[in-house]
Amino acid sequence: MPHLVTIDNVDMRYGGAAGTLAVSGLTMKVGKGEFAAVVGPSGCGKSTLMKLVTGLHIPQSGVVIVADKQVTKPVSIVGMAFQNPTMLPWRTTLDNILLPLEIVERHRHRLRANKKEYVEKAEHLLETVGLKGFGSKFPWQLSGGMQQRANLCRALIHEPELLMLDEPFGALDAFTREELWCVIRDLHAAQGVTIILVTHDLREATFLADRIFVMSARPGKVLKEHAVPFARPRDLEVMYEKAFNDMVHELHGEIASARVVA
Amino acid sequence: MSVVTENTATSATPAKPLAQRINWVKLAPWLYTIGLFVAWELLVIVLQTPPTILPAPSRVFQAIVQYWSPIWKNSLQTLYTTTVGFAIAVVAGLAIGLFIGWSKAIYAGLYPLMIGFNAIPKVALVPILVIWFGIGAVPAILTAFLISFFPIVVNVATGLATIEPETEDVLRALGAKKLDIMLKVGIPRSMPYFFGSLKVAITLAFVGSVVSETVASNYGLGNMMSSAQSQFNVPLVFAGLLMLAVEGIAMYALMAWIEMRMTGWAHRSTMSQ
Ligand SMILES: Nc1ncnc2c1ncn2[C@@H]1O[C@H](COP(=O)(O)OP(=O)(O)OP(=O)(O)O)[C@@H](O)[C@H]1O
Ligand SMILES: [Mg+2]
């Protein structure tokens, strides 16, 4: 399998030579179309990893390669979603979702002429995440879970090859979270997009991912890599199987010991 | 059960007492204003203050009627200098605010300068303006401008400088340039701050223009009041004050209305989300 993302022996330090060393000797590879999850103790550099891959930060040493090109500036083939939905309150949900199209080079010149086509696409996405008919509402008229769904739509509207999710479901209740897991699972299956998901929820990682990277405490590096064996398509029921729970348990143990070492 | 029926019965009665049909909250500003004038009138009657010290409101209204023509002319003059100065402040304030908020370095460098400038009492600048431009409308306009543009600058710059880093990250990851981020996020985001600052700025603009007119003009309410004062025509001084208050309230209400129209979303959502 060709690799879409390659991180090779990367060091990233914030705030000059005497600053915080966030990640050190970080190495990982994510294949095209793969679903990768990154777990690790708090503050170990997971969000930093996201920013390195998207080119928001450039590492002091080591290389990050995305789609066969070394990352030296923000790469525009990604969609991002954070825990905080960051919807713009002066735009309707639909206009929020269309925002990336006003930015990305490939689309911004086509947007005005092909508005109808893009709006249809956005409405289709809204339907996929269960927000049909909410496009004309403002974000502050939506609940937190609904905003997070819209946030996913915004991350997907420009058909990114790589979707970066940084704890996107952290603030949601258990049922909404499971529902959105299924939404993401189906999107991944249908569109063949590569996904990197940062999460604290080990069940979430195990349920969704093909491969799980466990990171050490700061300065973060990959301690262990797990291939998740469960066959796709996965049903939520898989979480009640023994093999699933054993895997979650094992991950839990690894992170617990990574924390102690720190 | 009986309670429920009782309630329906009372609400169904057609003739509610008058006191309940009046919207007291809407009426309150008028009642309080009338109350203030009544108290003032009573105070003057009780203390028997001569009109050269504190004229009664009735005396002030009489002066307004008596001197209506000069009052009207001077009120328009003050309104004119104030709004022109304010308009310049809006344009300049918006431009400078956007410039300062553009980058952290500019913000850091210019902010102390701005604070220092704002600490200077603008009255002290009037003599300089007179030396440069002579007496008349120009110093009044410029004083109104100088005194009112600072809150606009600070508010616009703050709106720009406080963009959530995550929003910026999402857009930068898509290849957004600084200009894109400013146009799509920064400027819309700073609009509530901007329109909010207009209310403060317009009242300050009146202070500036009147101060300047008082010391360096032959027109305007400021000038009218200072010459009335030198003739011991105290009711006319108070008439001028009253007109200023009316103009100030009217312009403030206009700004509040514009703010509501332009940035209604900010009142219904928390900016922090
Ligand atoms: N902008 C920044 N400036 C300075 N230090 C930073 C910055 N961002 C992160 N750090 C530091 O880098 C380290 C890694 O931060 P990062 O946000 O990547 O952690 P994380 O794994 O995402 O944590 P969490 O699980 O709590 O989200 C932390 O120690 C943090 O203090
Ligand atoms: Mg994080």
Contact B131, B188 (CB under 8 A): no
Restricting to B residues 154-173, those with a Cβ less than 8 Å away from any Cβ of A are 164, 166-167, 169-173
Left, alpha or beta for A48 (phi > 0: left; psi -120 to 50: alpha)?
alpha
Q: In sequence order, which ranges of chain B are alpha helices (DSSP H)?
A: 2-12, 18-21, 24-47, 57-66, 68-102, 104-119, 126-133, 137-161, 165-173, 178-181, 187-216, 220-230, 234-262, 264-268
The whole-number pLDDT of residue B13 equals 53
Is the model's pLDDT at A191 over the cut of 90? no
Residues written for chain B: 273
Average the pLDDT over A34-62 and give the result. Answer: 92
The whole-number pLDDT of residue B70 equals 92
Q: Whose CA is nearest to atom 14 of ligand 1?
A: A45
Domain boundaries, chain B: 16-48, 56-264
Q: What is the pTM of this model?
A: 0.78
Our answer on whether the CB atom of A158 is closer than 6 Å to any ligand 1 atom is: no
Our answer on whether the CB atom of A142 is closer than 6 Å to any ligand 1 atom is: no
Tell which residue, B148, B258, A244, has the closest CA to residue B140: B148
Is the model's pLDDT at A211 over the cut of 90? yes
CA gap A7, A38 in Å, rounded: 13
The whole-number pLDDT of residue A1 equals 62
- Contact at CB, A89 and B167, closer than 8 angstroms: no
A255: confidence class by pLDDT, cuts 50, 70, 90: very high
- The closest-lying atom of ligand 1 relative to the alpha carbon of residue A215 is 21
Share of chain A above pLDDT 70, in %: 99
Is the model's pLDDT at A179 over the cut of 70? yes
Q: Whose CA is nearest to atom 20 of ligand 1?
A: A43
Distance from CA of A211 to the nearest CA of B (A): 24
CA gap B19, B234 in Å, rounded: 40
Mean pLDDT by 10 residues, chain B (273 residues): 44 64 85 93 90 89 92 94 96 90 83 86 89 90 93 89 86 88 90 91 94 90 91 91 94 92 72 41
- CATH class as words, domain B56-264: mainly alpha
Average the pLDDT over A11-30 and give the result. Answer: 90
- Helix (H) or strand (E) run with residue A175 in it: helix A174-191
Q: Which ligand is nearest to the CA of A255?
A: 1
| Chain B residue whose CA is closest to A99 | B184
| pLDDT 10s digits, A91-115 | 999 999 999 999 888 888 888 888 8
Backbone angles phi, psi at A111, to 5 degrees: -60, -50
A122-125 contacts, C-beta under 8 A, 24 or more apart: A122/A94, A122/A97, A122/A98, A122/A153, A122/A157, A123/A94, A125/A97, A125/A153, A125/A156, A125/A157
Q: Lowest-pLDDT range, A1-10, A186-195, B20-29, B250-259? A: B20-29
Helices (H), strands (E): how many in chain A? 8, 10
The whole-number pLDDT of residue B11 equals 47
The rounded Å distance from CA A77 to ligand 1 centre is: 24
Contact B86, B80 (CB under 8 A): no
The rounded Å distance from CA A51 to ligand 1 centre is: 11
Cα-Cα-Cα-Cα dihedral sign, residues A136, A138, A141, A142: positive
CA gap B231, B223 in Å, rounded: 13
Q: Is B268 exposed, middle or buried (0-12, 13-18, 19+ CB in 10 A)?
A: exposed
The whole-number pLDDT of residue B271 equals 46
CA gap A82, A177 in Å, rounded: 14
Between residues B269 and A246, which one has the greater pLDDT? A246
| pLDDT 10s digits, A111-163 | 888 889 999 999 998 998 888 889 999 998 998 889 998 999 999 898 899 99
The whole-number pLDDT of residue B273 equals 38
- Contact at CB, A56 and B172, closer than 8 angstroms: yes
CB-nearest partner of B173 from A54, A105, A140: A54
What is the pLDDT of chain A when averaged over all its residues?
90
- Contact at CB, A80 and B169, closer than 8 angstroms: yes
- Contact at CB, A158 and B266, closer than 8 angstroms: no
Q: Which tokens in the block code for residue B239?
A: 């008439």
Task: Indicate if ipTM > 0.95.
Answer: no
- Helix (H) or strand (E) run with residue A259 in it: helix A242-261
Our answer on whether the CB atom of A96 is closer than 6 Å to any ligand 1 atom is: no
Residue to substitute in A13, A23, A46, A215 for testing ligand 1 pocket (most ligand atoms within 8 angstroms of CB): A46
